[in-house]
Amino acid sequence: MGKQHIVAHQAATKSVDKIPVTREGFITGMGIAAATLGAAVGLGNIWKFPFLTGANGGAAFLIIYLMSTILIGLPIMISEILLGQRAKGDVVTTLIKMAPKGQPWWLIGIAGILSSFLILAFYTEVVAWVFAYVFKAVSGVLLSTDPDTNMAVFNQLITDPVQSLVWQWVVLFAIGCIVLLGVAKGIEQTTKWLMPILFVLLVVVSIRGLTLPGAGEGLSFLFQPDFSKVTSPMILTAMGLAFFKLSIGMGAMMTYGSYYRNDQHIPLTATGMMVGDLVVSLLAGIAIFPAVFAFGFEPDAGPGLLFVTIPAVFASMPLGSVFVVLFFVLAAVAPIGAMISMLEVPVAFLRGRMGLTRLHATLITIALLAIVGSTVALSNSTLAHFQPFDMTTFDFYDFLTSNILLPLAGLFICLFVGWSWGFSEMQQTLSLSDTRWNRYLTIVLYGIIKFVTPTLVMIILLSGLNLL
Ligand code: TRP
């Protein structure tokens, strides 16, 4: 091939990149569902949901979380996917294309990219601990019924700068490889395999939990509400969890929406993802809480629930050495789809706006993540004295994203769809997939996006942050 030919070929692929029709995308409807559900399911279900539910009093928290998911999460998720599917661009490009000239709605996209770095910085570190725990579980190190002994194992891991960094790099390397393979071969194929495996593992572990003597107390903790525990910071936490769980407010759903086929039914896919994600969270709760109560542990062990209490619970049960391995393999597999959905946000941006190749975009993002991530990996050792707002960098990034940045971006996405993009554009995009799309449902959905969701988010945000 002559040099000229290569240049011509590159020019052709470059211009093809800008034409929506032949843009990279998901191939099958099943693949779209798997990738979308894969983005939702992750440490949020296995780590965050159980410890937050445990620390905030169980069922009352669960109910508020459920309401946030339906009234706030679902409408925002649908809005994000719709915008992405219509514009076929990365977060920033999508908002620039859809907004009237000169209005700075694209700033939502910039906030999303910032969130993706901050979340991945601590998320990859938790996955790093899980990876390390898979090995510890296999070698039997984790089998002590005494939480203090397990605490020592955990502390030894998180205060060791070398292990913390190296395991995080392993995680970054793994997700970098998947994203390098592209949308169809990387993201779609991986999640299509992961989701069923995850589900089977989870069902096995929950059946074990349910068949333990004394499981009932754990179930009533999870399902019998005590409303005296409800406070406005707690409501903010529940809403923040809904944003985190459904992967919204970052542009991940917008980016995935841009890879959707035009005939994909968005409200149906989004609702399916919401229900599927909820089932996985509840199964994780059923796997964990009955066992915690059956063996007399405390449900409110905080983030350590996964790394300190859970191993002690497994050590106390018959066949525990098998189940503890299964459990941590599950916890290592689940977050992969979620991490690649976050990584794809800056990668798509660097490709779409800066014209980089997928290879360069991925390499740059992973390199930056290794730097930002190290501020979390080293937060229990070398950088322990660095405490923004009296929090560890870990807690700070988590709080700043889940409780502030994601809800703010979600709020503005609703305001954009409701007040700028408007009803007829939304109706038109919805009917791409189904010309019989129900007009009344669209009106209801539009009304919720325009009035209900933004009002709720604003009130919860202001009162949760004590600004009201
Ligand atoms: N939902 C994922 C989880 O529960 C995390 C996640 C993936 C996410 N993509 C996101 C959170 C985008 C916020 C925004 O583990």
Does some domain include residue 95? yes
Q: 247 alpha carbon to ligand 1 midpoint, in Å? A: 4
- State the Cα angle at 259 between 254 and 264, rounded to 5°: 95
Q: 246 alpha carbon to ligand 1 midpoint, in Å? A: 6
Does some domain include residue 32? yes
Q: What sign has the CA pseudo-torsion 51, 54, 60, 62?
A: positive
Q: Is the beta carbon of 128 within 6 A of some atom in ligand 1? A: no
Mean pLDDT of 66-77: 97
On the question of pLDDT at 5 being above 60, the answer is no
Q: Is the beta carbon of 221 within 6 A of some atom in ligand 1? A: no
Q: Which of 250, 279, 340, 344 to mutate to test the pocket of ligand 1 (most atoms within 8 A of CB)?
A: 250
- For residue 292, what pLDDT is reported? 87
* Structural domain total, the chain: 1
Q: 454 alpha carbon to ligand 1 midpoint, in Å? A: 21
Can you tell me the distance from the alpha carbon of 39 to that of 246, in angstroms, rounded to the nearest whole number? 8
Q: Which atom of ligand 1 is nearest to the CA of 334?
A: 15
- Nearest protein CA to atom 6 of ligand 1, as residue: 247
Mean pLDDT of 150-165: 95
Which residue reads 């919204």 in tokens? 248
Please state the length of the chain.
Answer: 468
Q: Which atom of ligand 1 is nearest to the CA of 45?
A: 4
Mean pLDDT of 444-463: 97
- Tell me the residue range of the domain where 91 lies: 25-464
Q: Is the beta carbon of 244 within 6 A of some atom in ligand 1? A: yes
- Nearest protein CA to atom 14 of ligand 1, as residue: 247
Q: Is the beta carbon of 338 within 6 A of some atom in ligand 1? A: yes
Mean pLDDT of 142-171: 93
On the question of pLDDT at 219 being above 80, the answer is yes
Identify the CA nearest to 36 among candidates 281, 201, 348, 267. Answer: 267
- For residue 434, what pLDDT is reported? 66
Burial class (CB in 10 A: 0-12, 13-18, 19+), 389: exposed
Contact between 329 and 202 under an 8 Å Cβ cutoff? The reply is no
- For residue 2, what pLDDT is reported? 43
| Amino acid making up residue 168 | Q
Enter the pTM of the model: 0.91
Q: What is the CATH number of the domain that holds 443?
A: 1.20.1740
Residues 374-397 pLDDT 10s: 999 999 999 999 998 999 999 999
- For residue 317, what pLDDT is reported? 82
- Nearest protein CA to atom 4 of ligand 1, as residue: 44
CA distances from 311 to 156, 272, 294 (A): 15, 32, 14
Q: Is the beta carbon of 346 within 6 A of some atom in ligand 1? A: no
Does some domain include residue 7? no
On the question of pLDDT at 116 being above 90, the answer is yes
Mean pLDDT of 316-327: 87
Residue of 368 and 216 predicted with greater confidence: 368
Contact between 49 and 245 under an 8 Å Cβ cutoff? The reply is yes
Which residue reads 């794809």 in tokens? 344
Can you tell me the distance from the alpha carbon of 265 to that of 82, in angstroms, rounded to the nearest whole number? 10
Q: Is the beta carbon of 113 within 6 A of some atom in ligand 1? A: no
Q: Is the beta carbon of 36 within 6 A of some atom in ligand 1? A: no
| Amino acid making up residue 403 | N
- For residue 22, what pLDDT is reported? 61
On the question of pLDDT at 11 being above 50, the answer is no
Q: Which of 130, 341, 345 to mutate to test the pocket of ligand 1 (most atoms within 8 A of CB)?
A: 341
Does some domain include residue 14? no
Can you tell me the distance from the alpha carbon of 176 to that of 342, in angstroms, rounded to the nearest whole number? 11
Q: Which of 115, 119, 277 to mutate to test the pocket of ligand 1 (most atoms within 8 A of CB)?
A: 119
DSSP structure class, residue 100: P
- Nearest protein CA to atom 9 of ligand 1, as residue: 247
On the question of pLDDT at 77 being above 70, the answer is yes
Does some domain include residue 11? no
Can you tell me the distance from the alpha carbon of 184 to that of 138, in angstroms, rounded to the nearest whole number? 33
Contacts of 425 (CB under 8 A, 6+ apart): 86
Q: Is the beta carbon of 247 within 6 A of some atom in ligand 1? A: yes
Q: Which atom of ligand 1 is nearest to the CA of 402?
A: 13
The per-residue DSSP string of 375-398 comes to HHHTTTTTTTT--GGGS-HHHHHH
Residues 269-287 pLDDT 10s: 999 999 999 999 999 998 8
Contact between 236 and 467 under an 8 Å Cβ cutoff? The reply is no
Q: Is the beta carbon of 374 within 6 A of some atom in ligand 1? A: no
- For residue 371, what pLDDT is reported? 98
CA distances from 262 to 28, 38, 416, 428, 432 (A): 11, 20, 22, 12, 6
Does some domain include residue 59? yes
- For residue 16, what pLDDT is reported? 37
Residue 121's pLDDT band, with cuts at 50, 70 and 90, is: very high
Does some domain include residue 182? yes
Does some domain include residue 438? yes
Q: Which atom of ligand 1 is nearest to the CA of 250?
A: 14
Q: Is the beta carbon of 343 within 6 A of some atom in ligand 1? A: no
Q: Is the beta carbon of 39 within 6 A of some atom in ligand 1? A: yes
Q: Is the beta carbon of 264 within 6 A of some atom in ligand 1? A: no
Q: Which of 247, 256, 397, 402 to mutate to test the pocket of ligand 1 (most atoms within 8 A of CB)?
A: 247
- For residue 314, what pLDDT is reported? 85
Residue of 72 and 210 predicted with greater confidence: 72
Indicate the average pLDDT of the chain.
90
- Nearest protein CA to atom 8 of ligand 1, as residue: 247
Residue 313's pLDDT band, with cuts at 50, 70 and 90, is: confident
Which runs of consecutive H residues, i.e. helices, occur in 307-377? 309-316, 320-333, 335-352, 358-377
Angle between helices 309-316 and 147-158 (to 10 degrees): 140
Q: How many CB atoms lie within 10 A of CB 207?
A: 12
- For residue 463, what pLDDT is reported? 93
Identify the CA nearest to 233 among candidates 463, 399, 467, 63. Answer: 463
Lowest mean pLDDT among 6-20, 91-105, 116-130, 162-176: 6-20
Can you tell me the distance from the alpha carbon of 169 to that of 132, in angstroms, rounded to the nearest whole number? 12
Q: What percent of the chain has pLDDT over 90?
A: 65
Contacts of 426 (CB under 8 A, 6+ apart): 82, 417, 442, 446
